[in-house]
Amino acid sequence: MTIDPHAIHDTIVYLTYHLGKAITAFLDRGSFLYWPFLLSAIFLALVVAVVTAHARHGEERRSWRSVVREYLSGNVWWHASARADYRLYFRTRSSCIDIQRADVR
């Protein structure tokens, strides 16, 4: 059994390209992870936390920090439906990359 050096080279180029793309997503203007988008999303989340905290009356009223802590907890981010969303996202993303890679060859 011989190993094709071109296949190894193509695999290394493919992996380094996509790893570099993932690492530099914060600098890519076409990415949803571009830093102005992230800052505006964080700002809007904090505004919603403050409004949510102050919308309650009496003993139900909480600080905005407790609201943020609640929504950043593992109960929300590791809920069964959230894990299903993560799986769906990564499967769709990987199949799109496979389709793009198949078009190149």
- Counting Cβ atoms within 10 Å, is residue 48 exposed (0-12), middle (13-18) or buried (19+)? middle
Tens digit of pLDDT per residue, the chain (105 long)?
677 888 888 888 888 887 777 777 777 777 766 778 778 888 998 898 888 888 877 777 888 888 888 888 888 889 999 999 888 877 776 666 555 555 555
d(CA 38, CA 93): 20
Domain spans, the chain: 5-104
Read off the tokens for 87. Answer: 């799986």
> Which tens digit of pLDDT belongs to each residue from 37-47?
778 888 998 89
